[in-house]
């Protein structure tokens, strides 16, 4: 029976059961879309209308930050124990959802849609930009998390092996998750009598609208829905652990006095980050998140990675870097790695950054892109002011290792100096390092 519904100050006409709606502007939407955007988020028309705080979202954010603080306040060892569960549990859920998904009618329609390539899409720059965004988000280069976590490894840890295994496992997990998602989307498309391409959506809508709507058609929908969202929660919490621990590691390394007050520093860090996140709890919060996604992950992160390449390969130098890696791992660094790092990776990063900044969303996009990296030139200028000599001399002084550079452990530092003295063929001398 048709009836008039009033949602979010709009008149909505239900046209058939609970399958779709006409909104007041003439567009068609679904009940799941209406609930997520209008009832739950109370989403504003655009980013210029931030609106008030959406209190259910705000308190959910508070709970997340409290959980994060309680998990990381005791240091990286407690985080490691918690991560054993929060990392492995999503794999259990993915396996269960995969088994359930492939047994549903129509699942193979979704899987075929997923694995059959559309080569024409490769001509679109946005496809490559989206792929780069996915890699920067999932692998985490340029965010500090990888470096922060790696700093807790043993000195002679086999980093090269991990550098290969981690991307392979990450990509494999993403591909596996794609089978989980598209098997259920194929089932939903089969039930609705529409092509899979009309069911599949991008962005937050896939996780919070499309996939839950498909799950609601499955037997025992509440069980699968709860399991799915618990998995998403753990994945998000894991990301927060790593990112915040990277910030804390940087603060403690720069200010050694903070080591005795780690819990207080952790609390202050979480409080500051929570305060900054409140804008995402407003009616325009989803627009803000979209702005951050578009200009931090795909523009600023490649820029940071590019600066890291310059610091490691062009300032510190490939010979020094190769010698250090050989000293730490016991294996020489192949020339292929140096060629890729010095020439191929910088070109890719420049193209990605230029493409993103070209499409910056006006002043807001440029502000987001600049604010997230402005601390880098500020810190560099500060070092130049503290140095002595002419401008060229100051730049040269700050573009080479100082007396403090080297392993933190005294024993390893002594062995490292001895290795440098013996490494005459690679032209790394103690007088060049100012040690």
Give the annotated binding-site residues for Na(+): 138, 170, 235, 238-239
Residue 332: partners with Cβ closer than 8 Å, 6 or more residues away: 322, 325, 326
Instruction: Concatenate the DSSP letters of all residues of 404-431 into one string.
Output: T-S-SSHHHHHHHHHHHHH-GGGT--HH
Extract the annotated binding site: 138, 170, 235, 238-239
What burial class does residue 316 get, using C-beta atoms within 10 Å of its C-beta: 0-12 exposed, 13-18 middle, 19+ buried?
Answer: middle
- Rounded CA separation 417/327 (Å): 10
* CA 232 vs CA 42, 200, 204, 208, 229: distances in Å: 22, 18, 12, 10, 5
Q: Widest CA span of the chain, in angstroms? A: 86
- Could you tell me the two tokens for 56? 């259910």
Q: Check if the beta carbon of residue 241 is closer than 8 Å to that of residue 207.
A: no
- Could you tell me the two tokens for 139? 């692998």
- Rounded CA separation 314/143 (Å): 21
């Amino acid at each position: 029976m048709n009836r008039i519904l009033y949602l979010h100050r709009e008149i909505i006409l239900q046209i058939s059961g609970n399958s779709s709606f006409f909104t007041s502007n003439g567009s068609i939407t679904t009940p799941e879309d209406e609930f997520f955007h209008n009832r739950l988020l109370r989403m504003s028309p655009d980013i210029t209308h931030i609106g008030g705080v959406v209190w259910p979202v705000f308190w959910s954010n508070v709970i997340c930050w409290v959980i994060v603080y309680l998990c990381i306040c005791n240091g990286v060892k407690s985080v490691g124990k918690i991560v054993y569960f929060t990392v492995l549990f999503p794999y259990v859920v993915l396996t269960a959802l995969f088994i359930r998904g492939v047994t549903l009618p129509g699942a193979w329609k979704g899987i075929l849609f997923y694995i059959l390539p559309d080569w024409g899409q490769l001509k679109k720059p946005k496809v490559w930009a989206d792929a780069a965004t996915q890699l920067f988000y999932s692998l985490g280069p340029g965010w500090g998390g990888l470096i922060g976590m790696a700093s807790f490894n043993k000195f002679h840890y086999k980093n090269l092996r991990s550098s290969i295994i981690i991307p392979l496992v990450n990509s494999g997990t993403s591909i596996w998750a794609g089978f989980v998602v598209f098997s259920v989307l194929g089932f939903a498309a089969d039930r609705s009598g529409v092509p899979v391409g009309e069911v599949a959506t991008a962005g937050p809508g896939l996780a919070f609208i499309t996939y839950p709507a498909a799950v609601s058609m499955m037997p025992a929908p509440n069980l699968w829905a709860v399991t799915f969202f618990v998995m998403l929660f753990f994945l998000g919490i894991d990301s927060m652990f790593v990112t915040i621990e990277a910030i804390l590691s940087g603060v403690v390394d720069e200010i050694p006095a903070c080591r005795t007050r780690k819990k207080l520093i952790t609390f202050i860090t979480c409080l500051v980050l929570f305060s900054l996140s409140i804008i995402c709890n407003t009616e325009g919060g989803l627009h803000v998140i979209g702005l951050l996604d578009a200009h931090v992950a795909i523009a600023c992160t490649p820029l940071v990675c590019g600066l890291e390449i310059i610091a490691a390969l062009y300032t510190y130098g490939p010979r020094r870097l190769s010698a250090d890696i050989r000293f730490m791992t016991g294996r020489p660094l192949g020339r292929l790695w140096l060629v890729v790092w010095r020439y191929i990776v910088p070109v890719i990063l420049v193209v990605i950054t230029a493409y993103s900044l070209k499409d910056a969303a006006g002043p807001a996009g440029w502000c987001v892109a600049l604010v997230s990296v402005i601390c880098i030139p500020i810190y560099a200028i500060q070092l130049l002011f503290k140095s002595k000599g002419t401008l060229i001399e100051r730049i040269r002084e700050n573009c080479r290792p100082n007396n403090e550079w080297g392993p933190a452990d005294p024993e390893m530092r002594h062995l490292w100096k001895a290795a440098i003295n013996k490494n005459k063929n690679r032209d790394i001398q103690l007088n060049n390092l100012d040690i």
